[in-house]
């Protein structure tokens, strides 16, 4: 039987990589129309990565949460302009490195859970 959770997880993984593909690192640090009410792409990508770390930790994985102070969820961080964030490639690489172990953990959830 196909696991809908894994289908959704795989979709999110693919979408994350697709939406940041083609951006330069400089572009990911720039807010659309310089509107400070919007977050820039790099902050959004880092924030999503931070959420993946949270999911990994809730699944019992032993992961090092990188850049938590920069991308923390629940209004504990905010996008900063002209700030030395990690590169978008570093964020993408970390997302992709976390994907395999997290997917394996999610596949272990039985249907009754």
**What are the structural domain ranges in the chain?**
4-107
73 falls in which pLDDT band (50, 70, 90)? Answer: confident
The two three-digit tokens of residue 54, written as one number = 């949270």
Using CB atoms within 10 Å of the CB of residue 71, give its burial: 0 to 12 exposed, 13 to 18 middle, 19+ buried: buried
Q: Do the beta carbons of residue 50 and residue 71 sit within 8 Å?
A: yes
pLDDT digits (tens, 9 = 90+) for 20-60: 999 999 999 999 898 989 999 999 999 999 999 999 999 99
Question: How far apart are the C-alpha atoms of 53 and 65, rounded to whole Å?
Answer: 6
4-107 carries CATH number 1.20.120.450: yes
């Amino acid at each position: 039987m196909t696991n809908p959770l894994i289908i959704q997880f795989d979709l999110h993984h693919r979408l994350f990589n697709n939406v940041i593909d083609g951006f330069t690192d400089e572009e990911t640090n720039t807010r659309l129309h310089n509107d400070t009410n919007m977050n820039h792409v790099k902050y959004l990508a880092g924030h999503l990565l931070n959420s993946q770390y949270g999911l990994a930790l809730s699944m019992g994985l032993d992961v090092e949460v990188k850049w938590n102070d920069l991308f923390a969820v629940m209004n504990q961080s905010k996008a900063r302009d002209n700030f030395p964030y990690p590169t978008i490639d570093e964020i993408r690489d970390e997302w992709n490195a976390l994907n395999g172990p997290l997917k394996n953990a999610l596949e272990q959830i039985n249907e009754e859970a």
